[in-house]
Chain A
């Protein structure tokens, strides 16, 4: 596979157990915007019990600002806590055209699965596939994808 980009200068932030009510995402990202935090990717998983986890990827260079702002935002929105992972890698695979998307997605996930790599986050758009993996798996993932 070609057109693979690796980014190890990122932080995976998760607001845990955010109340599932209108306006919470706005409050979180307004707070981050006030600290000029650059957001690279956002995911929200569905949970039961009126709560969900809201996660995003940001630049490691802003870690101090992230830690300080997210702690305050977590309290203000009534989240159960906020976790940070700095030992992660983001993989980005460009899609040349939408017709090949399904094929490349399958190839990517098969290659990573065969290498025994767990995916923390999967996100895709018309232009690319993004996956977050543990930094301990970086080299293994790169080798697996290049040989796929």
Chain B
């Protein structure tokens, strides 16, 4: 059985939609199942991003997710496999690299064990493994998604994809912000007025996205829950500068920290070379090298070729 999975990067939160909103992006990891073993042994060859970090198949997130899904579905004596990962999604940069692995592991468990689980069940197990739904849901079903997870049940809605004339610039620096640090820096409680601010802005964002009111994205993506805190994890004043200066750039429709960072995204309309250069210039001022991607909202999610 030869299976190829083309799994997209994702950007989560989109400012106000902390742990809730996410969008699939046209940058892909490609996982190729080369061989299935009767016994539970695994080998993973990693090419591209994470070649050095992801060599050990015992700690490989695809293998872990496959095993966890098999446990969840009570599969006796799950088979093993040999996999080739051709990775283009930057590792630990806030573009959902680990979610591509979780999605791949769960999809492989469903296919190799011939379980034929429905989409909602696959997503439930993916969310259970990841701990939050905002990356895995758009990663699997594509487009822009709104998700709600209470630790057991998952509910999600897929919104229309961004129109073709709106693109996403993702500026990726060469430093990492560890997810643990990004979670630790968040306060345990927030002022009531900030909670109200985010409820209203996230609601406007979803309504504007659903109705094609792209002029409201800038306001809708404003956030007071996590970005002001996480911006402090960037070197110098890079994070604050991004949120202040890029948001007000004439070519920028809206901007946010992607996931827990350090990648910054800007939704742009039309020619955006100056804006992309300005984003990378800010990283250079913080003494960090960087590069950027120009991406579409990927409408297809994970594509399975057999």
Q: Is A136 an interface residue when CB atoms closer than 8 A count as contact?
A: yes
Stretch in A29-37, A75-83, A105-113 touching the partner:
A75-83
List the B residue with the shortest CB-CB distance to A134: B289
Q: What's the nearest-Cβ distance from chain A to residue B149, in Å?
A: 28
Which secondary structure characterizes the binding site on chain B? strand
Asked if B291 and A81 make an inter-chain contact with CB atoms under 8 angstroms apart, the answer reads: no
Say whether B291 contacts A48, CB under 8 Å.
no
* A49 / chain B contacts, CB cutoff of 8 Å: 32, 45, 47, 84, 86
Q: Count residues of B near A (Cβ-Cβ below 8 Å).
A: 34
Q: In the complex the two chains form, is A71's CB within 8 Å of B277's CB?
A: no
User: What 1/0 flags go to A84-97 for Cβ under 8 Å of B?
Assistant: 11110000000000
Most chain A Cβ neighbours within 10 Å, of B32, B88, B281, B290: B88
| B289 close to A81 (CB less than 8 A) | no
B289 touches A87 (CB 8 A): yes
CB distance from A54 to the nearest CB of B (A): 13
Residues facing A in B248-306 (CB within 8 A) are: 271-273, 276-277, 280-281, 283-284, 287-296
Name 12 interchain pairs, CB-CB below 8 A, sorted by A.
A17-B48, A17-B86, A63-B277, A64-B272, A67-B273, A67-B276, A81-B88, A85-B290, A87-B280, A87-B289, A87-B290, A136-B287
CA distance A75 to B296 in the complex (A): 10
Q: Find out whether the CB atom of A82 lies under 8 angstroms from the CB atom of B289.
A: no
Residue of B nearest to A80 (CB): B88
Nearest-CB distance from B171 to chain A (Å)? 10
Query: How many Å from the CB of A132 to the closest CB on chain B?
Result: 11
Nearest CB in chain B: distance from A111 CB, A: 20
Q: Are B28 and A81 in contact (CB under 8 A)?
A: yes
With a cutoff of 8 Å between Cβ atoms, the chain A residues found around residue B291 in the complex are 12, 14, 83-85
Instruction: Describe A's contact surface by its main secondary structure.
Output: mixed
Q: Is B29 an interface residue (CB 8 A)?
A: yes
Is residue B62 within 8 Å, beta carbon to beta carbon, of the partner chain? no
Known: A67-B273, A84-B294. A17 touches B289 (CB 8 A): no
Partner of A86, one of B29, B84, B172, B277: B277
- Kindly list chain A residues whose C-beta atoms are within 8 Å of the C-beta of B129: none
Closest to B277 in A: A86
B32 touches A17 (CB 8 A): no
A-B contact count (CB 8 A): 92
- Inter-chain CA distance A80–B292, complex, in Å, is 14
A135 proximity list for chain B (CB < 8 A): 284, 289
- A42 CB within 8 Å of chain B: no
A48's contact among B27, B45, B284, B288, by CB below 8 Å, is which?
Answer: B45
**Nearest A-chain residue to B172, judged by Cβ:** A83
A15 to chain B, nearest CB (A): 10
Task: List residues of B whose CB falls within 8 A of some A CB.
Answer: 9, 26-30, 32, 45, 47-48, 84, 86, 88, 167, 172, 271-273, 276-277, 280-281, 283-284, 287-296
Residue A47 is within 8 A (CB to CB) of chain B in the complex: yes
Measured CB to CB, the closest approach of chain A to B100, in angstroms, equals 11
Asked whether B280 lies within 8 Å of A86 as measured between CB atoms, the reply is yes
Evaluate whether A87 and B26 lie within 8 angstroms (CB atoms) in the complex, with A48-B47, A49-B47, A81-B88 already known: no
B84 to chain A, nearest CB (A): 5
Complex Cα–Cα for A130 and B175 (A): 26
Per-position binary interface string of chain A over residues 53-85, scored 1 when its CB falls under 8 Å from any chain B CB and 0 otherwise: 100000010011011101100010000111111
Q: With a CB–CB cut-off of 8 A, which chain A residues contact B289?
A: 85, 87, 134-136
Which of B9, B84, B293 has a CB less than 8 Å from the CB of A84?
B293
Q: How far is the CB of A145 from chain B (nearest CB, A)?
A: 19
* A17-B48, A64-B272, A75-B26 known; A82 vs B294 contact (CB < 8 Å): yes
Known: A16-B88, A80-B27. 10 other contacts (CB 8 A): A17-B48, A48-B47, A49-B84, A51-B86, A67-B294, A80-B28, A83-B291, A84-B276, A85-B289, A85-B291
> Which residues of the other chain, A, contact B30 by a CB distance below 8 angstroms?
17, 51, 80
